[in-house]
Amino acid sequence: MIVKHFFEGGPLFMSLIYALWLAVIFISASVLYKVLKANSVKGKLHKQNSWVLFLGSLGFLTGIFAQMIGLFQAMRAIESAGDISPALIAGGFKVSLLAPLYGFGLLLFSGIAWFLLRKVIQNRISGSEG
């Protein structure tokens, strides 16, 4: 199903969103590992953690941008074709929602990961100071 969505949603933008998913997962795991391994937490981890939220936001914006390009191309095709069935338009609109849907999922994941990692970093800092 993910492979089907990859090609339906447009390989260029979907590959960017998938790459952002991998980057967010990798950075989140890296920050968590460094926090749990280190005796003291430095400000560098806060900066790395902020990348998690930034990349998630970028994934959502990439999905919206992909949808806008797809809808623009679809409207141009509908304009030149003339009479199109509503079922065909609904199917095209459904496909245009794939990239924003995956991007929004990434934004939700990265927001939750950012919040949880921020709390872990803060608890580690306050625990090492006391």
Q: What's the rounded mean pLDDT across residues 5-30?
A: 94
State the pTM of this model: 0.88
Question: Can you list the pairs that 51-54 forms with residues at least 24 positions away whose Cβ atoms lie under 8 Å?
Answer: 51/27, 52/24, 52/27, 52/28, 52/110, 52/113, 52/114, 52/117, 53/110, 53/111, 53/114
Please report the pLDDT score of residue 44 as a whole number.
80
For the chain, the average pLDDT equals 89
Q: Which of 12-21, 30-39, 94-103 comes out lowest in average pLDDT?
A: 30-39
If one compares 78 and 112, the residue with the highest pLDDT of the two is: 112
Element (H, E) at 55: helix 43-81
Residue 81 binned pLDDT confidence (cut-offs 50, 70, 90): confident
The DSSP letter of residue 6 is H
Tell me how far apart the alpha carbons of residues 47 and 126 are, in angstroms, rounded to a whole number: 18
